[in-house]
Amino acid sequence: MNLAESYTLKPSAIPAYFDAMLDAKPPERFSVKFLENLGFTSTNDRLFIGILKDLGFLNRDGAPQPRYFEFLDRSISKQTVAAGIRDSFAELFTINTRANELGVEEVKNKLRTLFAGKKTPLVIGNIAKTFKALCDYADFSVSAPSNAAPQARNDAGSPEAEVPAPEAPTAVVTKPNPPSGKIMVSGLQYHINIVLPDTRDQAVYDAIFRSLREHLG
């Protein structure tokens, strides 16, 4: 089930948790000790670590993941949280694509269906409150940033098909006739067409090929 189960008993503290993370250097491991160093010493504060794992900010061992570091860019911090909410509550957003705009009671009703009796009403209520507090902090107004390179578009606005670059033209080198009348062979390759005279005299052909051997080697 792609549905977050972590919750906090202090949903009103969620903005303070995130703001403290923005002001601190990311740890090698987001532990209870690190959370206490941020100023959150209550045992109820520790529940926030599970929320960060559900949002994809931390792995199971508490090590920061790429989403954590994206969050540290203040220009997209709240958008990054929104992306994490969409991922961790994917089934809820499947039911309602604008689930972030639902009230707590509406979220509870949807979660009762999704959890299908696997959670108590008290736990469902806490998850719903946590979800609502996360959504209030996050920014869903802008789509998550994409790393994909933009496609070129034609005048009609549709993606332009990729056109391969034209091959470079092949240079044609013309070698001037040498003043001595001799054929000079250098590093270039020549193709010579010889039109033989219409004659039955073998001596004429012998003379032509002998001359070729002398001059061309």
Does the residue 89 lie in any domain? yes
Whether pLDDT at 11 is above 50: yes
What's the domain count of the chain?
1
pLDDT at 2: 80
pLDDT at 8 > cutoff 60: yes
**Which of 103, 102, 98, 104 is closest to 124 using CA atoms?**
104
Q: Answer for the pair 66, 56: CB distance below 8 angstroms, yes or no.
A: no
CA dihedral 67, 68, 72, 75 (to 10 degrees): 30
Query: What does residue 198 show for φ and ψ, rounded to 5 degrees?
Result: -80, 90
Residue 176 domain-assigned (yes or no): no
Which structure tokens are listed for 193?
A: 């067409």
Q: What is the pLDDT of residue 157?
A: 43
Q: Could you tell me if residue 125 is inside a domain?
A: yes
Per the domain annotation, does 154 fall within a domain?
A: no
Given this model, what pLDDT does residue 59 score? 97
Mind giving me the DSSP string for 115-172?
HTTSS-HHHHHHHHHHHHHHHHHS--SSPPP--SPPPPB-TTSSBPPP-PPPPPPPP-
Q: Is residue 195 part of a domain?
A: no
Q: Give residue 147's pLDDT band: very low, low, confident or very high (50, 70, 90).
A: very low
Q: Say how far apart CA 205 and CA 209 lie, in whole Å.
A: 6
Residue 111 belongs to a domain? yes
pLDDT (tens digit per residue) in 85-140: 999 999 999 999 999 999 999 999 999 999 999 999 999 999 999 999 999 999 99
**pLDDT level of residue 142 (50, 70, 90 thresholds):** confident
Residue 160 above 70 pLDDT? Answer: no
Range of the domain at 57: 11-137
Query: What pLDDT does residue 158 have?
Result: 42
Instruction: Specify if 178 maps to a domain.
Output: no
Structure tokens at 50: 């599970």
Quick check: is 92 in a domain? yes
d(C-alpha 217, C-alpha 143), whole Å: 74
In percent, the amount of the chain with pLDDT more than 70 equals 70
Helix, strand or coil for residue 75? coil
Residue 167 has what pLDDT? 52
Task: Quote the pTM value.
Answer: 0.65
Q: What is the pLDDT of residue 143?
A: 58
